[in-house]
Amino acid sequence: MTSTRIAVLLVEDEALVRMAIVDELEDAGFKVFEAGDADKAIDILTATPRIQLMFDVVGDDDVWHLGDFMSAPGGDCDELLGRLHGRKHLIIGNNDPETTTSANRWTSVQHYRELAVDGLHLILCHYAFRTWNEMGKKSINLHGHSHGKLKPFPRQFDVGVDAQGLRPVTLAHIISTQVRAQTSVPH
């Protein structure tokens, strides 16, 4: 029996970061195509129509890490944060040591955050909630911690990378997933 692996295009200009991510993705079972710049990525996309997944974070994106970012034996948190793109925010998880929470390269660090983005009220916490602020007004609860093992409530999403194919997800992806799920539920 042969299994088809999902083809991923990884675009990263820093070679050491790219190599580390490629190793992780391949270990997770993905077929990885890698590019060090946009021109190479376009060449790969042109020559390889089977690319199924591509992701990138750019410098001015806000990236929210919803806990359990890096354990103490994981290395130097500031060094890793310096290699990642975007403005990085940490929602503290139960496995984030002080070496992670006190790293200087975080834009912000907190246990809980409410945000208004594109007309949506977002509730961010490491833990999934049974109820949350403005739940009756269609606010959205984003969480990690449960590793994709909890049945979600409406407008509640596990955005931990292990529940999302080892990749960051955009708010647009989360919302489109919500719309697809709602339209597939029989009434």
Asked if 68 and 38 sit in the same domain, the reply is no
Say if residue 87 is exposed, middle or buried (CB neighbours under 10 Å; 0-12, 13-18, 19+): middle
Model confidence band, residue 179 (pLDDT cutoffs 50, 70, 90)? low
Mean pLDDT of all residues in the chain?
Answer: 82
Q: For residue 17, tell me if it sits in a domain.
A: yes
Residues 76-92: pLDDT tens digits? 899 888 878 889 999 99
End-to-end CA distance of the chain: 38
Residue 135 lies in a domain: yes
* 38 is a domain residue: yes
Q: Confidence class of residue 49 from pLDDT cuts 50, 70 and 90?
A: low
CATH number for the domain harbouring residue 66: 3.60.21.10
Contacts of residue 153, defined as CB under 8 A and 6 or more positions apart, other chains included, come to 130, 141
Q: Which residue has the tokens 């049945």?
A: 151
Do 97 and 112 lie in a common domain? yes
The CATH number assigned to the domain holding 30 equals: 3.40.50.2300
CA distance 185 to 124: 25
pTM: 0.68
pLDDT at 48 over 80: no
The CA dihedral of 5, 66, 179, 152, to the nearest 10 degrees, is: 90
Give pLDDT, residue 43. Answer: 77
- Whether residue 180 has pLDDT greater than 80: no
Q: Establish if 19 belongs to a structural domain.
A: yes
Give the number of domains in the chain: 2
Coil/strand/helix, residue 8: strand
Can you give the residue range of the structural domain that contains 110? 62-184
Residues 73 and 48 both lie in one domain: no
Residues 37 and 110 in one domain: no
The token pair at 79 is 């060094």
Residues 43 and 74 in one domain: no
Check residue 61 and give its pLDDT: 81
Please indicate, yes or no, if residue 21 is contained in any of the structural domains. Answer: yes
List C-alpha distances in Å: 52 to 2, 46, 73, 129, 164: 18, 13, 33, 32, 14
- Closest of 147, 143, 167, 146 to residue 155, by C-alpha: 143
Specify whether 154 is located in the same domain as 79. Answer: yes
pLDDT over 90 (residue 162): no
User: Average pLDDT, stretch 119-139?
Assistant: 94
How far is residue 144's CA from residue 163's CA, in Å, rounded to a whole number?
Answer: 8
Q: What is the pLDDT of residues 131-142, one digit of tens each?
A: 999 999 999 999
User: Please, which pLDDT band fits residue 39 given cuts at 50, 70 and 90?
Assistant: confident
Quote the percentage of the chain above a pLDDT of 90: 32
Record the tokens describing residue 25, joined without a space: 């993705």
Same domain, yes or no: 97 and 20? no
Q: What is the SS3 assignment for 67-83?
A: CCCCCHHHCCHHHHHHH
**Which residues partner with 87 through β-bridges?**
62
Whether 121 and 138 map to the same domain: the answer is: yes
Q: Is residue 2 part of a domain?
A: no
Say how far apart CA 87 and CA 108 lie, in whole Å.
Answer: 9
Within a domain: 86: yes
Look at residue 165 and tell me if it is in a domain.
Answer: yes
63 residue type, one letter: V
Would you say residue 158 has pLDDT above 70? Answer: yes
Residue 187 has pLDDT above 50, yes or no: no
8 A C-beta contact, residue 144 and residue 93? yes
Same domain, 38 and 114: no
143 and 86 within one domain = yes
